[in-house]
Amino acid sequence: MGVSFNGRTNVSKTLYSRSSRDAPAVTNQQLVEKLISDKTLTTPRIIDAFRSIDRKDFVLPGDEGRAYEDRPLSMGYGATISQPTTVAIMLEKLFADGGSPIRGKATLRALAASNGVKILEIGTGSGYMTALLAELIAKKGKVFSIELIPELKGLAEFNLKKYNFRNVCLFVDDGKAGLENYAPFDRIISSASGDETPKSWKNQLKIGGRIVAPVAESLIVLDKTSKRRFKEKEYTGFIFVALR
């Protein structure tokens, strides 16, 4: 679906700097370098994924010239392709170790190397986040992505074929319900905001797993420490589309 960062936060201003006065990026490489310079991207494997997945492949025809702007772009149907800064923040949080961005390899390597690591994505949109996740977890993992709007699922399928992924499954369904038949998941990530984190997502998360999802105008990180207990962190200052 889509999210954007509005810059209205007093938390970690350096990390979330938008550098709005900088010259706009005109290539995917320039976009990645901007995110690195802003200290938004810090994990080498996530940086490599951003370099491998070109945002231009996931925008609508006619928007190619705006593909590397650090802002959300419309996908129609009330959805957007998320702002690159927000996507980067969410992925860094999704694969962070103990709340701090991992230095290099531990968590991501362990996930990628394990057999059957599973990620649930809520809100496929145009497939940009889906592609980044698929690139990150490599061939042994699996990304399960739910999209409410059939036309957007079709768009995502078209876009993802450009990368010949074999570790992605797309569904048209109500994302709030999750995918019980494929649970449990190692990670759950959502690009749309609700009033609370759905109980179904919590139930479908593995112990030791993590949810990164917006609630209202905050980004919530939930670590599942036992069957019914979670450790929560909140990061404020975002704008999200509504979870439908």
Reported as type and span, the H/E element at residue 145 is strand 142-147
Copy the structure tokens of residue 185.
């998941």
At residue 140, the pLDDT reads 84
pLDDT band at 16 (very low <50, low <70, confident <90, very high): very low
Per-residue pLDDT tens digits for 159-214 = 999 999 999 999 999 999 999 999 999 999 998 777 789 999 999 999 999 999 99
Angle between helices 106-113 and 44-52 (to 10 degrees): 60
Q: For residue 23, what are the CA distances in angstroms to 30, 117, 154?
A: 10, 39, 34
Give the chain's end-to-end CA distance (angstroms, integer).
Answer: 10
Asked whether the predicted pLDDT for residue 72 surpasses 90, the reply is yes
Range of the domain at 236: 3-240
Residue 149 belongs to a domain with what CATH number? 3.40.50.150
Query: Quick check: 216 and 193 in contact, CB under 8 A?
Result: yes
Where in 111-236 does DSSP place strands (E)?
A: 118-122, 142-147, 168-172, 185-190, 205-215, 218-224, 230-236
Residue 100 gets which letter from DSSP?
B
Residue 191 is predicted with a pLDDT of: 86
Give the pTM: 0.85
Q: How many domains does the chain have?
A: 1
**pLDDT given at position 239:** 62
Q: What percent of the chain has pLDDT over 70?
A: 79
pLDDT at 18: 37
Q: Residues with catalytic annotation?
A: 82
Q: What is the mean pLDDT of the chain?
A: 84
pLDDT of 25-40, one tens digit each? 789 999 999 999 999 9
Confidence bin at 215 (pLDDT 50/70/90)? confident
